[in-house]
Amino acid sequence: METKYIFVTGGVVSSLGKGIIAASMACLLKARGYRVTIQKFDPYINIDPGTLNPYEHGECYVTVDGHEADLDLGHYERFTNVQTTRANNVTTGRIYQSVIDKERRGDYLGKTVQIVPHITDEIKRNIKKLGNTGNFDFVITEIGGTVGDIESLPFIESVRQLRWELGNNCLCVHLTYVPYIAAAKELKTKPTQHSVKQLQEVGIQPDILVLRTEKNIPPEMRRKIAQFCNVSPDAVIQSIDVPSIYKVPLTMHEQHLDELVLRKTGITPEGEPHMAPWLRFLDKMDRAEKKVTIGLVGKYVELQDAYKSINESLFQAATYDDRKLDLRYIHSEKLNEDNVDETLRDLDGVIIAPGFGQRGIEGKFVALKWCREHDVPTFGICLGMQCMVIEFARNVLGLGEANSTEMNPSTPDNVIDLMEEQKSVSNMGGTMRLGAYECRLDPESRAAKAYGKTTVNERHRHRFEFNDDYRQRFEDAGMRCVGRNPETGLVEVVEIPGKRWFIGTQYHPEYSSTVLNPNPIFIDFVKAAIAYGEERGK
Ligand code: GLN
């Protein structure tokens, strides 16, 4: 079949969850047997979100091919179980960079280079790139930002043009917000009407409206919206707040979103989507009563989205083990010798978060020392793993000033140091060790047992690494290097075999954990945490 293109735009306010709606739609289409991919076009000028502070943009997600991407790509993968790549996330910056490169090469043959048609053509080329591979029946494109923003105009104009070019193979879904005014006890449709009008002004008539709301929108109100917005009444769908994002595909299916999409792109819907495995997961989620309490030690704890993928991976693992996840964020800057006991004592397991820079690092060492000495299941991820190594060097090997050269370039014991190939790099964007690399695990290791295999492929995002010169000393004292990259020999996993569960990974297993394919190392960590909780009579 010809590739169908679905565009998802948003209006009224940001943070409505366009990514979740796009992912839910993809989830349903995939469950109907279609080949689906989702891509995000972001209107900001950064080349990618890799250089953005988590305060600006939440977590930076990493694709298998080493692209630093918007965190929505994490949702796409978790909901569809389909891997994304560099092609799935394009920013204004990348579009301009490519157009300017072409201009410098003389590709435009002396013409004046303009937003229309050159930038819009470049956007259109990128939108169709994945579709042109022939690998997908549906390409869902989420346009970042809110309709009406100056930044998103070239993207919206490109969508308008593509609609004409693609005809029946194209569909526009617009997400808006229906606020509830408590004082008047009323839901308000005016912002939706305005937002659709704004879209119409730039030449786009949405085919489907999804209304975000906290209260049920009565059918007559939906009919009114349909009438005012030129949309068929069955194509006005509400997306009411649900306790878990993983329920959104169901609420969309109940309102026939998947059938609508098929019919409106010229396909006759047959049968029902195969959602059985997804429903089993939701059922476990609903039935779980007992908790598993995990502490996440990091410096961005006031920020919901900074550790999104870790949070979701833990949630998936807890759910598969019939537990409710009780995740406690622990501010590494506030953790010290005096409060560590009371802060960590009730936890079943502790995660030491990834990160960059000195801030909050000492709190991570305090937490790690306490966890190691109290034999609490502990999982260090990336910087968290590096901190495990440093803490061990300081307190077990007696190397009091051991450090990473990231934190102290003149440390006498550089147990974590720059990778050789990183030493000459001065450019900040996309210059780390990024993307999926193979790792060979020692068959006797806990990590290998967790995965049930000795070769794994996990994603990376770091500059620094374990310094192999110290390996023997670590191993003699009980911390083992149990995972390595087969080509470079870089240490990817360390563990202390004598402990209940004490593993650090240089890679980020959280990027590859999906609802239908949860990451085994998170599953094993959560199991160990549950066992530890039960041991203590919880
Ligand atoms: N800052 C560390 C490095 O660059 C760890 C990065 C991370 O945790 N993602 O190696």
| Whole-number Å distance between alpha carbons of 456 and 503 | 15
Q: If you measure from the C-alpha of residue 353 to the centroid of ligand 1, how many angstroms do you get, rounded to a whole number?
A: 10
Q: Which member of 122, 312, 495, 510 is catalytic?
A: 510
Structure tokens at 48: 């990618």
Q: What is residue 189's predicted lDDT score, i.e. its pLDDT?
A: 94
Structure tokens at 195: 């937002």
Q: If you measure from the C-alpha of residue 423 to the centroid of ligand 1, how many angstroms do you get, rounded to a whole number?
A: 15
Average pLDDT for residues 102-113, to the nearest whole number?
94
Query: Which atom of ligand 1 lies nearest, measured to the CA of 461?
Result: 9
Whole-model pTM: value is 0.94
Q: Which member of 371, 382, 439, 481 is catalytic?
A: 382
Q: What is residue 430's predicted lDDT score, i.e. its pLDDT?
A: 61
Average pLDDT for residues 399-411, to the nearest whole number?
96
List Cβ neighbours of 330 (8 Å cut-off, separation of 6 or more).
295, 296, 297, 298, 301, 343, 344, 367
Residue 54 has pLDDT above 80, yes or no: no
Q: What is residue 428's predicted lDDT score, i.e. its pLDDT?
A: 63
Q: If you measure from the C-alpha of residue 358 to the centroid of ligand 1, how many angstroms do you get, rounded to a whole number?
A: 11
Annotated catalytic residue 462 = no
| Whole-number Å distance between alpha carbons of 348 and 83 | 32
**468 burial level (CB within 10 Å; 0-12, 13-18, 19+):** middle
| Whole-number Å distance between alpha carbons of 1 and 421 | 46
Annotated catalytic residue 481 = no
**300 or 470: which leads in pLDDT:** 470
Which residues approach ligand 1 with their CB closer than 6 A? 354-356, 382-383, 406, 461-464
Q: What is residue 429's predicted lDDT score, i.e. its pLDDT?
A: 65
Q: Which member of 174, 460, 462, 508 is catalytic?
A: 508
Q: Which residue has the CA at smallest separation from atom 1 of ligand 1?
A: 356
Residue 427 has pLDDT above 80, yes or no: no
Annotated catalytic residue 510 = yes
Q: If you measure from the C-alpha of residue 401 to the centroid of ligand 1, how many angstroms do you get, rounded to a whole number?
A: 19
In the chain, pLDDT over 70 holds for what percent of residues?
98
- Nearest C-alpha neighbor of 217 from the set 193, 247, 186, 256: 186
pLDDT 10s digits, 14-26: 878 899 999 999 9
- Nearest C-alpha neighbor of 245 from the set 304, 183, 293: 304
pLDDT 10s digits, 143-156: 998 998 999 999 99
How far, in Å, are 98, 423, 463 from residue 426 at the CA level?
22, 8, 12
Query: If pLDDT is split at 50, 70 and 90, which confidence band does 48 have?
Result: confident
Query: Which of 386, 388, 460 is the pocket-test mutation for ligand 1 (most atoms within 8 Å of CB)?
Result: 386
